Amino acid sequence: MDERRKTPRKYLIIYSRVFHRENGTVIGYLSDLNKLGAMLISDDPQPTGITLPLRFDLPEPHLFGSPRFSLNAKVAWCSPDIDPSFYNIGLEFGELSPTQAKIIEEMMVAYEFRRDSDAQPPIFPTTTP
């Protein structure tokens, strides 16, 4: 089976909290994202194959028209992070509604970690008294 990702994920500069929608517990923090899935950094492991009801907190609600959105995601994998006190959890999204897909696209554009120098904010000279 080919396990290579077909759609590259966008690494995010803002780690949004991700909650279990039914009991309100924090599952983890969103690390990377695309329209097919995401990776969370978590304090606790999750069993592979389960479907989680998720609620994402959106860092800047005015950009998205809502402070949060919800969707279900299957745990595709879970492994210890480089820091052994955390876990990386790979999620696969099911079918997205047009609203969910739009919010994910907007999050990827607004919060993508850009590695090229042109995407960095301008540096303004400081004045000395």
Residues 48-72 pLDDT 10s: 999 999 998 877 777 777 888 899 9
Residue 1 forms part of a structural domain: no
Residue 77 forms part of a structural domain: yes
Residue 25 forms part of a structural domain: yes
φ, ψ for residue 18, nearest 5 deg: -125, 125
| Residue span of the structural domain in which 87 resides | 10-114
Structure tokens at 113: 């970690």
Instruction: Give the number of other CB atoms < 10 A from CB of residue 19.
Output: 19
Residue 46 forms part of a structural domain: yes
Residue 125 forms part of a structural domain: no
Residue 18 forms part of a structural domain: yes
Domain count for the chain: 1
CA angle 81, 36, 48 (to 5 degrees): 45
Residue 104 forms part of a structural domain: yes
Per the confidence metrics, is the pTM higher than 0.75? Answer: no
C-beta separation of 35 from 96 below 8 A? yes
Residue 60 forms part of a structural domain: yes
Q: For position 80, which CATH number holds?
A: 2.40.10.220
Band the pLDDT of 123: cuts 50, 70, 90: very low
Q: pLDDT digit string (tens) for 71-121?
A: 999 999 999 999 989 999 999 998 899 988 988 888 777 776 444 444 444
C-beta separation of 55 from 47 below 8 A? no
